[in-house]
Amino acid sequence: MSNDSVEASWRMPQPSIGDAVLFAPDYNSMNRPMLGLIVSNPGDSAVTLAVMSPGGMMIRSGVKHIDDPGWKQDNFWNDLGVWDFAPVTKSIRTLMEREKARNGRETGTK
């Protein structure tokens, strides 16, 4: 599969407003992540975060998911950092999916 078709078929995981995420200013790794919160409805390929840092809170817009193949091709995105779901958010989403599958119905959130 070519890089263009991988980029076209990849879809960003869809967070909800208030989800806890990890933010890394270095797009190559999550070695020293900071806690972030999704502060507005996500776009198709990027999010806006309130990032907590030792120096205070900062708003970061246009942040791509760490697995997004698109930012690896375009250097513009490199300076904006990357995000991934925080472990607690991943756990909650897994539990909700299990409950939904077990009950065979929607649980009320995405």
Q: What is the pLDDT of residues 58-88, one digit of tens each?
A: 999 999 999 988 776 666 666 788 999 999 9
Please indicate, yes or no, if residue 43 is contained in any of the structural domains: yes
- Evaluate whether residue 48 is within a structural domain: yes
Q: Is residue 109 part of a domain?
A: no
In a domain, 27, yes or no: yes
What one-character DSSP code corresponds to residue 106?
-
Alpha helices in the chain (DSSP H): 3-9, 87-103
Residue 51 lies in a domain: yes
Whether 107 shows a pLDDT value over 70: the answer reads no
Q: How many domains does the chain have?
A: 1
The pTM assigned to this predicted structure is 0.80
Dihedral of CA 57/58/64/67: which sign? negative
Range of the domain at 33: 3-103
Evaluate whether residue 61 is within a structural domain: yes
The dihedral sign for the CA sequence 99, 93, 20, 87: positive
Burial of 38 by CB count in 10 Å (0-12 exposed, 13-18 middle, 19+ buried)? buried
